[in-house]
Amino acid sequence: MNQNTNRASDFRHKEVIDITTGNRLGFMTDIDVDLSSGRINAIIIPAKRRFFGLFAAGEDVVIPWNRIQKIGEDIILVTLGDED
């Protein structure tokens, strides 16, 4: 496998940070893939959980692929917030 190639499972251990706001969004758990083209449409971060993970406190965060700025060894940097 090429050194620049990542598996989807490799992303699960990366924290996602919005570089516009500095907010830590969580860890990616899923991806949205267009099966006909093989392209990744978005990464998905689960909603914050309460009460031992049983009840969601909000909606999952879906981050379009074009919002990803950099994928590092430990983190994924994205831009979600509005830049002034």
What domains can you pick out in the chain, each with its CATH number?
8-78 (2.30.30.240)
Q: Is the pLDDT of residue 84 over 70?
A: no
Residues ≥6 apart with Cβ < 8 Å to 21 = 80, 81
pLDDT digits (tens, 9 = 90+) for 1-57: 445 555 656 666 789 999 999 999 999 888 899 999 989 999 999 877 655 555 556
- 16-25, 55-64, 70-79: which range is least confident on average? 55-64
Q: How many CB atoms lie within 10 A of CB 22?
A: 8
Are 76 and 43 within 8 A, CB to CB? yes
Q: Is the pLDDT of residue 74 over 50?
A: yes
In Å, how far are 30, 38, 39 from 35, measured between CA atoms?
15, 5, 7
